Amino acid sequence: MLHHHHVEKKSDIYLKFRRQSFLNTGIIGKTELTCLCKIIMFDLDPVLLARIQFAFTISFHIIFPAFTIGLASWLAVVEWRWLRTGQVVYQQLYKFWIKIFAVTFGMGVVSGVVMSYQFGTNWSVFSDQVGNIIGPLLGYEVLTAFFLEATFLGIMLFGWDRVSRRMHFTSTVVVAIGTLISAFWILSANSWMQTPQGFTIGADDLLYPTNWMAIIFNPSFPYRLAHMVTAAYLTTAFVIGGIGAYYLWRQRYQACARIMLGMALLLAVFLTPLQIIIGDMHGMNTFEHQPVKVAAIEGIWDTQQGAPLTLFALPNTQTESNDYAIAIPKLASLILTHELNGEIKGLKEWPQDERPPVGTVFWSFRIMVGIGFLMLLTAVIGAILYFRKTLFTSRRFHLWCMAMTPSGFVAVLAGWFVTEVGRQPYVAYGIIRTAEAVSPVVDESIALSLLAFVLVYLFIFGAGTYYILHLIAKGPDILQPDQAEETYGAHGVETPPLAASLTTESGEK
């Protein structure tokens, strides 16, 4: 605890300095100033800082896979259609979306490399204690997925003139499969942290594996995997559909836009109802294994039979009740137990230091579910318009789809907030508390690196978003049908070496 003394001293100097410069301006009084500085810099506890940093870096990261998982699969479908039908429109679509894919994937890679080190930099005690279990799962993710994606992405982007069409298509499929394998391992690791099993705790307090199948296929894993992969596909569908709708609305690139909106809605029609069913099953699984999380999700304080479904409320941790609640009687019990008078345990069953932050879990869940039903509504309306043959002409619906473009991202983030915040105060549920898992790193290091991450991510990913929006505004390149065969390889063709060196390099001197 030596460094704490050190910190105090430093903070005094800092305060003195700040006080003088601020007091000269006469805006802020002495006491407020002291409080402010303490709150901003020095009284943030390292656990909270580490949590904020991890939450920030992983939230930013998940946005990209949530999109690329679906986009890779969609690109595979589009390229398959192109190979089968030879229609230029599929080629246009592929060439257009691969650019967006490349930018997104690049951002996913760089933010992902950060994640592979954040376990150690921020949660070293956790890494040490559960390394025997989580380590191999992450190791398998690298070995089975990351190399595959990275290498074949290179061929997908730059291999046009160097591989056959069949091999190019294979590369696209391999990248798509890679994204799914990656999801498999990382969700297995995360699910194990939610519903740990298949281990013993040794005399040295470390966890030792006893059954790998139980570890990998832990109780919440199948549900979480299905829920997340479906969510990723839906996220992509609503982005592609939204952009297709935008082109239709602006009356540009109609052929491409119809395929985008049409295929997106086709997927949404099947996947939104499926996702709601999977979500329900996932919830019941959580009810069985992490009942306190469900109590927070539903905002239920007292154990009751026939618990109501609260639509709106402000959960109040002081009074241990909900303010301004609007609820539908018995519905929560019906959903979770499939009985009108089923019993749901309330938060008060657990001591206060065993409960997750209720408000965040409660509201994140409502945002996620709300978006889910908006997606269902969109799919239903889209299907009706399709059968009325007005899908591609209904401008109001196109505007609606444009508004729904980012919906998947919001839902995915909200969903992860539910499951991760709902697991608190534990990092591995029931085994290791988050507060005990943190690295022995001084507050300043975490605070400054957090600040650096925030600034860098906002700048870099702001720029990435700008370039993607720019690509969307520019739209697909127009290709003539007779160019189709030729242009498959024309981009990036190396001009004959002699000519190239004469024409391109002599001029630059």
Partner 1 sequence: MFSFEPWVNLPLIWAILIATAVFLYVWLDGFDLGVGILFPFAPSDQCRDRMMNSIAPFWDGNETWLVLGGGGLFAAFPLAYAVLMPALYVPVILMLLGLIFRGVAFEFRFKAHGHSRRIWDYSFHFGSLVAAFMQGMILGGFIQGITVDGRSFAGGPLDWLSEFSVMTGIALVFGYCLLGTTWLVMKTDEITQAWARKTASYVLIFVAFFMVMVTITMPFLDEEVRELWFGMPSFFYLLPIPLVAIGLFALLWRDLHHGREYRPFVLSLGIFFTAYLGFGITLWPWMVPYEITFTQAAAAPESQSLLLVGALILLPIILAYTAYSYYLFRGKTSHESTY
Query: Residue 200 forms beta bridges with which residues?
Result: 208
Site string for partner 1, 48-67 (x = CB under 8 A): --------------------
Out of 150, 311, 340, 384, name the contact with partner 1 by CB under 8 A.
Answer: 150
| Nearest CB to partner 1, comparing residues 61 and 423 | 61
CB of 72 to partner 1, least distance (A): 14
Side chain identity at residue 296, one-letter code: A
Residue of 468, 336, 469, 447 whose CA lies nearest to 50: 447
Side chain identity at residue 297, one-letter code: I
Residues 260 and 242 sit within 8 Å (Cβ to Cβ): no
Binding residues among 426-465 for partner 1 as defined by CB under 8 A: 439-442, 444-445, 449, 452-453, 456, 460, 463-464
Tokens 């998947």: give the residue: 408
Side chain identity at residue 95, one-letter code: K
Side chain identity at residue 454, one-letter code: V
Residues 331 and 344 sit within 8 Å (Cβ to Cβ): no
Site string for partner 1, 212-251 (x = CB under 8 A): x---------------------------------------
Contact call for residue 152 and partner 1 (CB under 8 A): yes
CB of 445 to partner 1, least distance (A): 5
Q: Is 370 helix (H, G, I), strand (E, B) or coil?
A: helix
Q: What percentage of the chain's residues is helix, strand, coil (to nearest 5)?
A: 75, 5, 20
Residues belonging to the chain:
509
CB of 441 to partner 1, least distance (A): 5
Out of 39, 40, 142, 377, name the contact with partner 1 by CB under 8 A.
Answer: 142
Out of 9, 14, 35, 117, name the contact with partner 1 by CB under 8 A.
Answer: 117
| Nearest CB to partner 1, comparing residues 97 and 287 | 97
| Nearest CB to partner 1, comparing residues 155 and 404 | 155
Q: Is 428 helix (H, G, I), strand (E, B) or coil?
A: strand
Return d(Cα 448, Cα 389) in angstroms, integer. 57
Number of residues this chain uses to bind partner 1 (CB under 8 A) = 87
Tokens 């697991």: give the residue: 423
CB of 218 to partner 1, least distance (A): 15
Return d(Cα 200, Cα 207) in angstroms, integer. 6
| Nearest CB to partner 1, comparing residues 163 and 335 | 163
Contact call for residue 491 and partner 1 (CB under 8 A): yes
| Nearest CB to partner 1, comparing residues 47 and 331 | 47
Q: Phi then psi for 467, rounded to 5 degrees?
A: -70, -35
Contact call for residue 26 and partner 1 (CB under 8 A): no
Contact call for residue 138 and partner 1 (CB under 8 A): yes
Return d(Cα 210, Cα 33) in angstroms, integer. 55
Return d(Cα 417, Cα 58) in angstroms, integer. 11
Residue of 103, 35, 223 whose CA lies nearest to 468: 103
Out of 28, 48, 83, 159, name the contact with partner 1 by CB under 8 A.
Answer: 159
Return d(Cα 259, Cα 306) in angstroms, integer. 47
Return d(Cα 247, Cα 262) in angstroms, integer. 13
Site string for partner 1, 167-206 (x = CB under 8 A): ---------------------------------------x
| Nearest CB to partner 1, comparing residues 144 and 321 | 144
Out of 23, 35, 39, 113, name the contact with partner 1 by CB under 8 A.
Answer: 113
Out of 30, 451, 470, 483, name the contact with partner 1 by CB under 8 A.
Answer: 470
Out of 34, 59, 87, 121, name the contact with partner 1 by CB under 8 A.
Answer: 121
Out of 201, 399, 403, 500, name the contact with partner 1 by CB under 8 A.
Answer: 500
The window from 122-130, 254-262, 277-285, 384-392 that contacts partner 1 (CB under 8 A) reads 122-130
Contact call for residue 36 and partner 1 (CB under 8 A): no
Site string for partner 1, 89-108 (x = CB under 8 A): ------x--xx--xx--xx-
Contact call for residue 479 and partner 1 (CB under 8 A): no
Residues 296 and 344 sit within 8 Å (Cβ to Cβ): no
Q: Is 101 helix (H, G, I), strand (E, B) or coil?
A: helix
| Nearest CB to partner 1, comparing residues 27 and 213 | 213
Residue of 44, 12, 161 whose CA lies nearest to 495: 161
Return d(Cα 309, Cα 196) in angstroms, integer. 29
Return d(Cα 197, Cα 199) in angstroms, integer. 6
Pairing state of beta strands 432-433 and 426-428? antiparallel
Out of 69, 76, 89, 133, name the contact with partner 1 by CB under 8 A.
Answer: 133
Side chain identity at residue 477, one-letter code: D
Contact call for residue 501 and partner 1 (CB under 8 A): yes
| Nearest CB to partner 1, comparing residues 157 and 335 | 157
Side chain identity at residue 186, one-letter code: I
Contact call for residue 128 and partner 1 (CB under 8 A): yes
Q: Is 305 helix (H, G, I), strand (E, B) or coil?
A: strand
The window from 85-93, 147-155, 301-309, 413-421 that contacts partner 1 (CB under 8 A) reads 147-155
Contact call for residue 83 and partner 1 (CB under 8 A): no
Contact call for residue 509 and partner 1 (CB under 8 A): yes
